[in-house]
Amino acid sequence: MDYRKINLSPSQLLILIFFVSILIGTGLLMLPFATNEPIHFIDALFTATSAMTVTGLAVVDTGSVYTLFGQCVIVSLIQLGGLGIMSFAVLIYMALGKKIGLKDRILIQQSLNQTSIGGVIYLVRNLFIFSLAIEGIAMLFLALRWVPDLGWGKGLFYSFFHSISAFNNAGMALWPDNLMGFVGDPIVNIVISLLFITGGLGFTVLIELWREKSYKKMSLHSRLMIVGTFVINIVSMLLIFTLEYSNPNTLGGLASLWDKLWASYFQAVSPRTAGFNSLDIASLDESTIFLMLLLMFVGAGSASTGGGIKLTTFLVIVLAVITYLRGKKEVVVGRKSIDYEIVFRSLAISSVALAFIFVAVFLLNITEKEPFLPLLFEVISAFGTVGLSMGVTAKLTIMGKLIIIFMMFLGKLGPLTLVMSLAKQDNTKIRYPSENILTG
Amino acid sequence: MDYRKINLSPSQLLILIFFVSILIGTGLLMLPFATNEPIHFIDALFTATSAMTVTGLAVVDTGSVYTLFGQCVIVSLIQLGGLGIMSFAVLIYMALGKKIGLKDRILIQQSLNQTSIGGVIYLVRNLFIFSLAIEGIAMLFLALRWVPDLGWGKGLFYSFFHSISAFNNAGMALWPDNLMGFVGDPIVNIVISLLFITGGLGFTVLIELWREKSYKKMSLHSRLMIVGTFVINIVSMLLIFTLEYSNPNTLGGLASLWDKLWASYFQAVSPRTAGFNSLDIASLDESTIFLMLLLMFVGAGSASTGGGIKLTTFLVIVLAVITYLRGKKEVVVGRKSIDYEIVFRSLAISSVALAFIFVAVFLLNITEKEPFLPLLFEVISAFGTVGLSMGVTAKLTIMGKLIIIFMMFLGKLGPLTLVMSLAKQDNTKIRYPSENILTG
Ligand SMILES: [K+]
Ligand SMILES: [K+]
């Protein structure tokens, strides 16, 4: 794997590796003993992409169509895509005792969205130990719940599968109605949500938390992530509880107040990339759906197992806009200022994301006969690698599936990685006189 | 009108004057002889706001419900709101020979979205002569078309009304189906579209064109507006022609290729704030509707009779993103660079606009029983002061109408004017150390 001989930029290589992994996954899922019934190539490709990008959108029912082998392929792709395919490469290098070159490090850096090259190797090792430990503990808890119901074999495998699916924010479940059967179950709600919230914070935040620094000494990034996650989850939970309280097909149909609260909590924290559902998404009120569109677009943390533009990108834009509105020049938060460079980067990420979403929705409205809102929901769910659906995934045309496959790919790699790997970097240094333009 | 005695910022005063004008208009439309049937207060308020903000959304049929007096009130509000209520104040000052103070000028400046104070008075006088001349000439052309059909009285009044409605980008028509009766009529298509395209370029662009500078000597702003308008109109026309060609309820139902081309042209140029329609909007394909959402959001030019975030705001963001993607620091276009300040302003305008649109759509989905897409369309149409509708305007609840009234108000005044008039300007000068944040 000496890619210094290949004339590719780190971003291009990352894209290539993702692409090849998905193709291998597709091939494995096409094997006769991977499925209980023959499936179309496009559906195998869709499933492999959905697993590798930890999205969780499903064109066929994962639990019944795929055999144990097929499900193992899927869970392997999830672990591979979620923990970052590049960190595997680092581990292989480390295991073989080779030293890691700069170009490799940049690659990992991009895979993890890490900013400083120095800490990457250390990060990757800790990340692995930490992730596997969390997944293992969670699996034990889930086994307590599922082994009594499903028996040892199936119960342990289900605990294993859903623990990995949750920590990596894949949101894939082996039940056809996802986790709707456990809408009021405390163990499933707590274990699964803690897994994906932890995975969604991002590894740099987790490592800072692990080192038990005091909150005030933590980096600005970690503080923004922790406070932001807390606030956005609380607000979303209150909104969903209020909006759905009297909807007979969602909260209104649940027996106890506890079930309603669990369901509100779970559906509030899940759309920012996890994508599990304990309520029927298609039955939600359109106001709730609209709220979820925003949550899915924003997504989880940088260097996390999740997708979307990322919570910090969203917060940087909000802070920059507030700064402008208050007539100040410097974007300040938590006694630190944020460089214009970061604001520009956030603007670029959001704009490129919106542009791709716009084109995808536009094209889907041409290729598909489904109504507008489910298609918009599907595209943003794919971009945020969320995996929630209003039920159109299996009905998509081949063109529609290809568009969603592309959006999952884009969401996982990040819009900037993809675009910048294709754009020519221009290093001309001519300076031009500045001129005013009327805006707004 | 000595508002130096009132302790209001220019923005607050501008909002107040708009508000008062709308209330006066509402009162006049409530008079017994303004309508052929009694109308509800909320509908009079809606009509007055729609006219004053040159939006053109209609809760009742303007041509049949309002009497000649009511229609004259409406057309007066359109002229007042379109040419800028503040420029009237300047003219009154000029007529009375009083000199114009700095605070007044800032007010006009904001009303016209002008950046330099110096040229405002000159601009306003030229603007008036130019606008009235254009409206007069257009009226003559329209009269040639309509007097033979409708007779002298009605023909001239209709020419007068639609000429003012078009130049001010109001988009209100006296036919219940707007201009669908003239879908293939060259005179109506050309005159009306030239009027609203001219009005939508913005007065500074018109004045530069008038002075017959060569294109290369024109300001960056004017060049961006001219090229941008041309490109966006051509692309939109081609897209609409392609998307609707075989739709039996729109282009597919038209007899000749010429009619199809006229209709594509007209519906391509109208959504960026004019809001006339020669096709049935509700029958358009959802892909076309989605394209129109973008066009309506972008809107016309700064210092124009139109709304939206403005074409230059959109272009600045596109240019800034391209600059970032190409790895350059300086935003350059047409051999001029654009300050970070302007990029920040554009980001603030777009973000605040999106935030308001988001909340409005969210609330409408709670208050209304209509499907999602028509409500989204209505909100963006109101924000862009466009006035196109998928047919839900008249069916809105009182809460829904109030939300749309607010969005029209917001769209006309500009999101920044509204928000900054409420936000506290903070002038503290503490500097903080800068810190990196992971985004995307
Ligand atoms: K997911
Ligand atoms: K309009």
Give the ligand whose atoms come closest to the C-alpha of residue B54: 2
Segment B355-367 mean pLDDT: 91
**Strand, coil or helix: B201:** helix
DSSP string, A160-222: HHHHHHHHTT----SSTTTTGGGTT-HHHHHHHHHHHHHHHH-HHHHHHHHTT--GGGS-HHH
Segment A127-133 mean pLDDT: 81
Segment A352-380 mean pLDDT: 92
| B 24-43 near A (Cβ less than 8 A) | none
Q: In the prediction, which pLDDT does B418 show?
A: 67
Q: In the prediction, which pLDDT does B332 show?
A: 80
| A 269-298 near B (Cβ less than 8 A) | 285-287, 289-291, 294
> Is a pLDDT exceeding 50 seen at residue A3?
no
Q: What is the pLDDT of residues B146-163, one digit of tens each?
A: 999 888 889 999 999 999
Q: In the prediction, which pLDDT does B177 show?
A: 87
Average pLDDT, chain A: 82
Segment B187-191 mean pLDDT: 90
Mutate: best of B220, B246, B333, B437, partner A, most A CBs <10 A: B437
> Is a pLDDT exceeding 50 seen at residue B172?
yes
Q: Which two tokens mark B129?
A: 């002569």
- Indicate the pLDDT class of residue A422, thresholds 50, 70 and 90: low
Contacts of B440 in chain A (CB under 8 A): 113, 302, 309-310, 313, 345-346, 349, 414-416
Segment B122-134 mean pLDDT: 77
Q: What is the pLDDT of residues B27-67, one digit of tens each?
A: 999 999 899 988 999 999 999 999 998 898 989 888 889 99
> Is a pLDDT exceeding 90 seen at residue B107?
no
Test A425 with B326 for CB contact under 8 angstroms: yes
Distance B115 CA to ligand 2 centre (A): 24
Q: What is the pLDDT of residues A153-192, one digit of tens each?
A: 899 999 999 999 898 888 888 888 888 989 888 888 999 9
> Is a pLDDT exceeding 90 seen at residue A300?
no
For helices A102-111 and A10-30, give the axis angle rounded to 10 degrees. 60
A319: nearest CA in chain B? B348
> Is a pLDDT exceeding 50 seen at residue B92?
no
Q: In the prediction, which pLDDT does A423 show?
A: 55
Segment B189-214 mean pLDDT: 80
Q: Which of A215-224, A385-394, B94-103 has the lowest mean pLDDT?
A: B94-103
- Residue A111 near chain B (CB below 8 Å): no
- Residue A330 near chain B (CB below 8 Å): yes
Q: In the prediction, which pLDDT does B363 show?
A: 92
- The residues pairing with A336 across neighbouring beta strands, listed in sequence order, are A333
| B 403-422 near A (Cβ less than 8 A) | 414-416, 419-420
Q: Is the ipTM reported for this complex over the cut 0.90?
A: no
Q: What is the pLDDT of residues B276-296, one digit of tens each?
A: 988 988 888 888 998 999 999
With a pLDDT cut of 90, the percent of chain B lying above it is 31
Q: In the prediction, which pLDDT does A84 show?
A: 64
CA distance B314 to chain A (A): 8
> Is a pLDDT exceeding 50 seen at residue A211?
yes
Q: Which of A254-263, B146-155, B413-422 has the lowest mean pLDDT?
A: B413-422
Q: Is B252 left (phi over 0), alpha (psi -120 to 50) or beta?
A: alpha
> Is a pLDDT exceeding 50 seen at residue B215?
yes
Kindly state the DSSP code that residue B310 receives in the 8-state scheme.
-
> Is a pLDDT exceeding 90 seen at residue B81?
no
Q: Which residues of A101-129 are buried (b: 16+ CB within 10 A; e: fewer)?
A: eeebbbbbbbbbbbbeeeebbebbebbbe
Test A202 with B438 for CB contact under 8 angstroms: yes
Contacts of A115 in chain B (CB under 8 A): 436, 438
Kindly state the DSSP code that residue B54 receives in the 8-state scheme.
T
Segment B194-214 mean pLDDT: 78
CA angle A77, A78, A81 (to 5 degrees): 80
Segment B77-92 mean pLDDT: 67
> Which residue in the set A219, A337, A358 is minimally distant from B434, CB to CB?
A337
Q: In the prediction, which pLDDT does B97 show?
A: 45
Test A345 with B439 for CB contact under 8 angstroms: yes
Q: In the prediction, which pLDDT does A434 show?
A: 60
How many whole angstroms separate alpha carbon B174 and alpha carbon B62? 6
> Across the A/B interface, how many CB contacts are shorter than 8 Å?
234
Average pLDDT, chain B: 82
Report the half-sphere exposure of B120 (CA within 13 A, side-chain side). 27
Q: Cα dihedral angle (A171, A177, A183, A189), rounded to 10 degrees?
A: -20
Residue type, A74: I
> Is a pLDDT exceeding 90 seen at residue A417?
no
How many whole angstroms separate alpha carbon A431 and alpha carbon B335? 9
| A 112-131 near B (Cβ less than 8 A) | 113-115
Q: In the prediction, which pLDDT does B340 show?
A: 80
Report which listed range, A1-10, A91-100, A127-136, A237-246, is most confident. Answer: A237-246
Test B309 with A416 for CB contact under 8 angstroms: no
